[in-house]
Amino acid sequence: MSDIRDLSIAELGKAYRDRSLSPVEATRDALATISAHNESLCAFNTVVPEIALERAARAEQELMSGQDLGPLHGIPFGAKDIYDTAGILTSCQSKLRPDVIPDSNAHSVQKILDGGAVLLGKCATIEFATGGPSQETLFPPARNPWNTDHVPGGSSSGSGAAVASGMTRMALGSDTGGSIRGPAAYCGTVGMKSTYGRVSRRGVFPLSFTMDHCGPLSWSVEDAAIALNEMAGFDPLDPASANVPVSDYTAQLNSGVKGMKIGYVANWLDEDENTNPEIRAAITEAKNALRAEGAIVEPVTLPAHDVYHACGRMIILAECYAIHEKDLMERPELYGRPTRERLMAGAFVRGSDYVEALRMRREMTHWFNAEILGKYDMVIAPATSLPAGRFDAEPNNPLALGGYLTVPFNVTGSPAMSVCCGYTSEGLPISMQIVGRPFDEAGVFQVGAAYERATDWRSQRPLLAGGDVLAAE
């Protein structure tokens, strides 16, 4: 086991600058971890060691000469395989794109590279970020590092597995119905979905024009805050981009939650008769931990999760079908079956249903922001009602999300972050969501960091194939 792997982004940066460690050493260590474990985890579709080591050497020279590009300078990272990467395959996990090599980077990838970060390669996804795990796609599906018989969640599956296994401290994901927070929950990492419009989607293959979000997955809240600092910002070439100032997301990490008023979504787990009792218990303990830190935590009732789910899925299905209609008509055989079935369901969404869903979305968003976030500083909610399922138990229902409770905050566009809040008796992670007011990512990080300090969940890492145990940070 390497000690390098135990260092956070901030700790790596400090080591670079006091010259006790170099970006080349850290990158070689990351590549060695990928080489050792990617065959069993399938977390990366494409690895680019030559490019990574070249960028790491450049970062080392820059830092040695006094040219400091910021906290991500020399830090290795991965990008979900729907993000455009110049000169590197962007496959979307699909046989429709076996040779698509973009000429330019996605906006957020470019911003991170401009900060001196080192791209290791492209992380596995669910085909076109929809459907489910499939052996019919261009690359095999990623597996959960805690138990490879279980799914890592989708669609940022490889990003979750890569971070949890220590291949990288941070990886980029996208979230349309929970595709950052779900894999974060199943893999025990941090997953940050920022406010709709906070991070540009330009150069990221779309799933839903009005519900796609981009953000990082990481091992710690601080690492997520550092990454989002680089990703966030106005992009005039993304029509959905919000021209709202970006604060320093690390500034409030040590502020604590004393006196903060937090609403807990009390009804969603009760609505699902299949809710895992260990998740219910873990969420109760998480509430108690925040209370012990001085927060006022009170129950709140939101509309039934099924209502949010129906609204969100109607929008997503209609919009993703519009994106894929031509290929579905001309080359349906190249899609994996779960993807094809999910996309084809969109063909049956009526225009009136889509318009009604958009209307409902506006009403529910206004109500949530005014009635709930008008009274509370923050909201917490379970991320899932079930732990990660087994591959051999995955449902075939194209509308199913496998226990995710994440869609509501895609509907509202709220900043929402998954943080680990325990483990089941079988050793699978449990997670809660922290949800803030529009563009208050800093507050979300503040609560997450306080909870992280109050608990020791970050001390547990998966036992990898070959007996390699990652130590606590």
* Token duo for residue 248: 């320093």
DSSP single-letter state for residue 169: S
431 assigned to active site: no
2 assigned to active site: no
Q: Is 19 exposed, middle or buried, given 0-12, 13-18 or 19+ CB atoms closer than 10 A?
A: exposed
Q: Which of 151, 215, 173, 201 is nearest to 386 (CA)?
A: 151
> At how many degrees (to 10) do helices 23-41 and 157-164 cross?
120
193 assigned to active site: no
Q: Which of 473, 13, 448, 451 is nearest to 250 (CA)?
A: 448
User: Which member of 80, 111, 122, 287 is catalytic?
Assistant: 80
CB 327 within 8 A of CB 346: no
What span, in angstroms and rounded, lies between the C-alpha atoms of 314 and 91?
A: 26
User: Which member of 108, 134, 179, 418 is catalytic?
Assistant: 179
> At how many degrees (to 10) do helices 9-17 and 23-41 cross?
150
Name 379's Cβ contacts closer than 8 Å, sequence gap at least 6: 262, 263, 264, 265, 300, 372, 373, 434, 435, 436
CB 409 within 8 A of CB 432: no
CB 208 within 8 A of CB 215: no
Q: How many CB atoms lie within 10 A of CB 426?
A: 11
CA distances from residue 50 to 55, 88, 115, 121, 312 in whole angstroms, order as listed: 9, 12, 19, 11, 42
DSSP single-letter state for residue 280: H
* Token duo for residue 356: 């009604």
Name 385's Cβ contacts closer than 8 Å, sequence gap at least 6: 268, 269, 272, 274, 275, 276, 279, 403, 405
What span, in angstroms and rounded, lies between the C-alpha atoms of 471 and 368?
A: 40
Amino acid at 229: N
Whether the CA torsion 337, 383, 230, 29 is positive or negative: it is negative
User: Which member of 108, 155, 159, 241 is catalytic?
Assistant: 155
* Token duo for residue 78: 């991965």
| Residues tagged active-site | 80, 155, 179
